Amino acid sequence: FRFNQRNMDNWQTAYRQIQGITDVDLLLVGGDLTRDGALHDFEYEVAKRELDALPYPYYAVPGNMDTCNKHTDKNGATGREDIRLNVTAEQLDSFVPFFGDFPWSFVHKNVRFSGFYAAVAGSGLSYETRMWHWLESELPSLPHAAHHVVT
C-alpha cells in the first residue's frame, strides 16, 4: 500500500471545498479517485462513501491511479516499468461495482454530459471495443443538447 498523507490531506481539503458548494446540480469526477484502487478495494469504499454523502449526484470514470495506465509495448525512462503498469480488464472490472459502468451519457438542463476512459485505446481489451462502439455508434445516435461536456 503506497499511502501518502499529503495525498489524503489534499483530498480532504478538496472534499471540504466541494461540501461547501451549495448551488450545484451534479459532480463529474474524471478519475484518480484513489491511489491504488484496483489493488485495494477499501480505497474505492472510502471514496464512494464520501461521494455518496454529497447532497447531489456524481458521475465518475476511472483514472490511471484507479486502474493503471494506458497500454504500451515499451518501457519509459530508465527505471520505469510501464509495460507492467498497463491497464487490465480485471482492474477496470474492480471499478464498476463502486462507481458504475462506463462509458455513460446523460442530458441535464439541455447539456449532454458524457464520460469514458480513453486509456483503453490500443489495449485490445473488451473495454476498448465497447468504447469505440459507443463513440462511433451509440453516442452520435443520442438526442442532441445545446452543449456537450465530455470527461
Tell me which residue of 135, 35, 129, 60 sits closest to 89, measured CA to CA.
129
- pLDDT for residue 3: 61
Asked whether the predicted pLDDT for residue 78 surpasses 80, the reply is no
Q: Report the chain's mean pLDDT, rounded to a whole number.
A: 90
Q: Where are the domains of the chain?
A: 29-150
Per-residue pLDDT of 46-75, as tens digits, reads 899 999 999 999 999 999 888 888 777 878
Average pLDDT over residues 19-31: 93
Asked whether the predicted pLDDT for residue 24 surpasses 90, the reply is yes
- pLDDT for residue 16: 92
Q: What is the pTM of this model?
A: 0.86
3-state SS, 110-146, equals: CEEEEECCHHHCCCCCHHHHHHHHHHHHHHHHCCCCC
